[in-house]
Amino acid sequence: MSRHDIDYKKQWLQVGDYAAVYPFNFESPFVGVVEKVRKNKYGRFSYVIKSRQYMAEELFPADGEAKLKLPRLRK
């Protein structure tokens, strides 16, 4: 589900941070480590997690969706 209230021009994560990802397609949500932060020519940030690129809107759960817990592990 697309979220329109997320600021996609703000960098939410750094390389090495843990992130909960809620993909738009029918994949199940998962927790991964940010491998790379990308910014396109229009200022939109996206994140490479598990060798796939995800948009900033995919880092936040939809309304009523269960939130994932992030591990407290060292980077």
Give the pLDDT band (50/70/90) at residue 1.
very low
Residue 2 has pLDDT above 70, yes or no: no
- Residues sharing a CB contact under 8 Å with residue 71, sequence separation 6 or more, in sequence order: 18, 31
Q: What local confidence, expressed as pLDDT, does residue 49 receive? A: 95
pLDDT tens figures, 8-19: 888 989 999 999
How far apart CA 55 and CA 74 sit, in angstroms, is 24
Q: Please answer whether residues 49 and 33 qualify as being in contact, where contact means their C-beta atoms are separated by less than 8 angstroms.
A: yes
Pair of tokens at residue 52: 């796939």
The domain locations on the chain are 18-59
Considering the entire predicted model, what is its pTM? 0.81
Residue 73 has pLDDT above 70, yes or no: no
